[in-house]
Each structure stands twice: as C-alpha cells, then as structure tokens.
Chains A and B, each alone.
Chain A
C-alpha cells in the first residue's frame, strides 16, 4: 500500500472514530440529566393519576347528587390514593378506572330509572 493510501485510510478511520464517539456521547446522560428525566417521568405519572382521580371523583359526585352513588365507588378512590402513595401505580390506576366506570354506570342508572320506574307501579 502506498503512503498516500495509508494516510487516506487513517483519516477515514479517524473520522469514523470521531463520529462513533460523538454518537455514544449523545446517548450517555450525565447523572444530573438522569435524575431530571426520572423526575419528569414521576411528575407525568403524578399528573396522569391526579387527572384520572379527579375525573372519576367528579363523576362519583354527580352520582351522589342524583342519590344514585354505588356503595363501593368512594372506597375504590380511597384505595387508589393509598396504592399510588405506596408506589403501586398500575394498581392505583386500575382502581381509579373501576371507580370511574361505577360512577358512569350509576349516572346512567339514574337517567334510565327516571322514566323506567313508572312501568312498575301497581295499577
């Protein structure tokens, strides 16, 4: 191999090496950045839970105002809060979803029964 070709090969290798190195650097976070990412993820999880909880509780209150609240809904929400505080996010979100579904069904029940009861009156 000629010297010129060798020099060209070394330059190519250098460029490739630089490119590889900078790519690796961009994937590797500093400890501060890792912590920031974790906080951001936690904050997102907090918001998700809080939003879901508030929505479910709002529906529960609507059912309560109609005097159609089911007996387990509030305890699902209380248990959800506890599970979330204990770090069991999946379980917490599942309980919130149960509460939301119950509240929706209770509201639907109130709407249906507002008319349906009349057909049952003994005449």
Chain B
C-alpha cells in the first residue's frame, strides 16, 4: 500500500544508495600509490660548485634543494640548524659573500660560485673568533640550538661596521630567535666582541 511516508522513505534510501555507489566508482578510478611503485622521475639535477668555508665543494642537486639542506644533508655540515624552515627564526643563518642570510629560503643552485661561510668556518685554524669566545664568557646559550645562527649573525654584524650598542644589537639581530631566552647574555657577548676589536 503506497503512502507518502513509505514513498519518501524509499526515495531517501535510493538516493543514499546512489550516492554511495557513485563515490565508490570515483574512488576506484583514483590511482593508488603502492610503496613498491617506482618513484616519480626526478627532474634533471644541476651540478654546481660552491666555496664552503674556504673549500670548493661540488654538488649535484635538484633545483628544489635549499641551501640549508645542501649544507646539512649533502655536505654533512650540520652545525647550521633547521629551526622553522620558513625564514622566521634565524637558526639557519649563514654568510653568503659576507652577507648573513637565512639559508632555508634560498636554493643551493642559486649560489653556484658563491662563497658560503657556516658556523664550522668561523674559527680559523682552531682559534676561536672573538664572538665565539665572548659567547662562552657570557654564557650566551642554554640548549644551544639557536647558537650557530646567533654566532654567524653576530660575526656578519660585526663586519657590517656600524657602531653597536645594546639597542642596535637587539634591532640588528632581531632575526635570530632564542626560545630559551638567552637574549641578555647574547647581547652581552656581541657587545663585548664589538668592543674587543
């Protein structure tokens, strides 16, 4: 016996079944990537030469490898840290042609032929840089994760030649974050290193 209730009930069930059926068909058409499938072919890699800490290094990398990943993963220079990978924390600070930059926001291939200095290249022949000595004297770190970036940034700032006081140091190094909060000691260290020259 057909009633409105029965009609609407059956219509709803049919619509539901049709919807589920359509979704199953769409899912069946989507490719399933199995772990054993061959990986998508990488795009051609570039072979580049970069002067890193005074040594010519030759790398073959895809364009999308950041300078940070090239230094850490290809060259094993793990002193430079990946803090945020988006240019906001400064833990990846390195010097390129004497200018401090965030190495996470630049590509290795963009620096073919450039001169890169990482924290591993700050000490010369086993002798600590005045900035490094000052960081030790003033205990400018706790966990140490931001420290390589802080030191490279401070060395480059030192070379920028401006007159440094506490406020200028805070402004000019505001791109190097320290989650442990060592800022007072970091400023002390940079100030001392600036005065020592």
Mutual binders A and B: no
Residues in chain B within 8 A of chain A (CB atoms): none
